[in-house]
Amino acid sequence: MRDAYIVTSVRTPGCRRNKGAFRDTRPEDLLSFILDSAMQQTKNLAKKDVDDVMIGCSFPEAEQGLNIGRVASQMAGFPVEVTGATVNRFCSSGLEAIALASLRVMAGWSDVTIGGGVESMTYVPMGGSIPRPHPEFSKTQADNYISMGLTAENVANRYDISREQQDEFAYNSQKKAAAAKAGKKYTEIVPTPAVRFNKKEDGTFQKETFIQDFDDGIRESTTLEGLTKLRPAFSATGSVTAGNSSQMTDGAAATIIACEEKVKELGLKPVAKLKYYTTAGCRPDEMGVGPLYAIPKLLKLANVELKDVGVFEINEAFASQALYCTRELGIDLAKVNLNGGAIALGHPLGCTGAKLCATLMANMKSTGARYGVESMCIGGGMGAAALFERCE
Ligand SMILES: CC(C)(COP(=O)(O)OP(=O)(O)OC[C@H]1O[C@@H](n2cnc3c(N)ncnc32)[C@H](O)[C@@H]1OP(=O)(O)O)[C@@H](O)C(=O)NCCC(=O)NCCS
């Protein structure tokens, strides 16, 4: 197999569902912008050189339906010959898209591809607009449709993750993110045009475009005391709150992948190679434990030891599951989510896998780590994990 080189990996900021900067910006606009930005940042590569654009999306309907991978790549100005697809594996969709796009390059079927992700949780709610669980199956196997918040409660209860531990983890995520924002560490963010509608005196609205260049879910003012006071969000007697859960978010991200011949021919400067990607299944009612199975499976495949991984991006769907997985695996938290995670930065479902890839690439560059691992849990009871090796 050939190598799949990650040439460029970028993201829009992540902005709060309904309350944030992208609440009036359509997902196609976010995605087409970031696809075009990835191309602009890749000198010498022409849009016609890209073979296919694969885009992760967890709820591909309404504004982000109709094969948004194709629609947004056409909006971004790719020629009609460049194809597009939408990929869904819920929270790992963006990473799944990058892995599928990389496999095309590895197999020799394509020389250059793009993998990415998009989710507007403002435009399309989690669960979709018209959820319709199967009537008989859902009676006997209700856990397949369980609320994600309850799975986080199950992990906390079954594996003794206390409210205090969850709040402390959430506090650290917020503090790391606040420091990274102040220190301008998010080099993977591309300042992104957003839309707002201003009400005029005559009652009509005027459309205005502005540039959003930061993740607006970060709460610099977070204190442990403030987190302790929040009421449980999913169960009256529970420990999972709005403060120690991932935020619902809008965003998009894109990664350009190329084979070695193209890298050499065009003089591209790849950041890393995608070495391995895998998924592992677990009980749906504790889907948050997914990384606990996916990461060891990945490292075994790759024949790489945990201690040799320099940086991790592990999605903070909930503090309870992120803490449990890292604790059981014996991962040093100092290597995890260096600039904060989804508790502070948000979790735009189908975009997250692509967003975390962009962040991991930036962190592998800044730390010089040889190996980086990206992982997340997935609704329905799964985990996904990918191993990247930095290019010298
Ligand atoms: C938990 C959840 C229901 C909360 O939703 P929400 O009420 O819209 O959340 P918000 O971020 O608006 O926070 C609500 C309030 O909590 C408080 N709060 C949240 N984070 C806080 C913090 N760090 N410090 C202090 N207060 C905080 C604030 O009062 C906030 O209200 P404000 O924004 O008006 O100040 C929602 O974020 C959720 O479902 N998350 C999980 C999503 C999910 O399941 N994803 C898939 C995972 S597999």
3-state secondary structure of 280: strand
Residue 193 phi, psi (nearest 5)? -65, 135
The yes-or-no answer on residue 57 being catalytic is: no
Measured from the Cα of 17, ligand 1's closest atom is 8
State how far the Cα of 360 lies from the Cα of 339, in Å rounded to an integer. Answer: 10
What are the tens digits of pLDDT across the range 70-112? 999 999 999 999 999 999 999 999 999 999 999 999 999 999 9
According to the model, what pLDDT value does residue 13 have?
98
Helix (H), strand (E) at residue 100: helix 93-107
Q: Ligand 1 mean position to 149 CA, how many Å?
A: 12
* The CA-based dihedral angle spanning residues 85, 90, 94, 95, taken in that order and rounded to the nearest 10 degrees: -120
What are the tens digits of pLDDT across the range 332-362? 999 999 999 999 999 999 999 999 999 999 9
What are the tens digits of pLDDT across the range 190-212? 999 999 999 999 999 999 999 99
The yes-or-no answer on residue 347 being catalytic is: yes
Measured from the Cα of 149, ligand 1's closest atom is 44
Q: Which of 145, 167, 222, 245 to mutate to test the pocket of ligand 1 (most atoms within 8 A of CB)?
A: 245
Question: Is-contact 166 320, C-beta < 8 A?
Answer: yes
Q: Which of 18, 230, 315 to mutate to test the pocket of ligand 1 (most atoms within 8 A of CB)?
A: 230
State how far the Cα of 326 lies from the Cα of 314, in Å rounded to an integer. Answer: 9
Identity of the residue numbered 324: Y
Does this model's pTM top 0.85? My answer is: yes
Q: Ligand 1 mean position to 174 CA, how many Å?
A: 13
The yes-or-no answer on residue 91 being catalytic is: yes
Q: Ligand 1 mean position to 263 CA, how many Å?
A: 43
Measured from the Cα of 288, ligand 1's closest atom is 48
The residue whose CA has the least distance to atom 37 of ligand 1 is 247
Task: Compute the average pLDDT of residues 151-165.
Answer: 98
Q: Which of 259, 282, 351, 377 is catalytic?
A: 377
According to the model, what pLDDT value does residue 254 have?
99
- With a Cβ cut-off of 6 Å, ligand 1 is lined by 91, 148-149, 174, 219, 222, 226-227, 230, 233, 242-243, 245-248, 317, 347, 379
Task: Compute the average pLDDT of residues 115-138.
Answer: 97
Q: Which of 91, 259, 325, 357 is catalytic?
A: 91
Instruction: Compute the C-alpha angle 388/185/278, nearest 5°.
Output: 20
Question: Is-contact 96 87, C-beta < 8 A?
Answer: yes
Q: Which of 15, 259, 325, 347 is catalytic?
A: 347
State how far the Cα of 252 lies from the Cα of 58, in Å rounded to an integer. Answer: 12
State how far the Cα of 30 lies from the Cα of 36, in Å rounded to an integer. Answer: 10
Cα distances from 236 to residues 46, 96, 241, in angstroms, run 55, 35, 10
State how far the Cα of 297 lies from the Cα of 69, in Å rounded to an integer. Answer: 30
Structure-token match 């050939």, residue found: 2
Beta-strand ranges (E) seen in 121-204 are 192-199
Asked if pLDDT for residue 251 goes beyond 90, the answer is yes
Q: Ligand 1 mean position to 242 CA, how many Å?
A: 3
What are the tens digits of pLDDT across the range 302-312? 999 999 999 99
According to the model, what pLDDT value does residue 247 have?
98
How many residues belong to the chain? 392
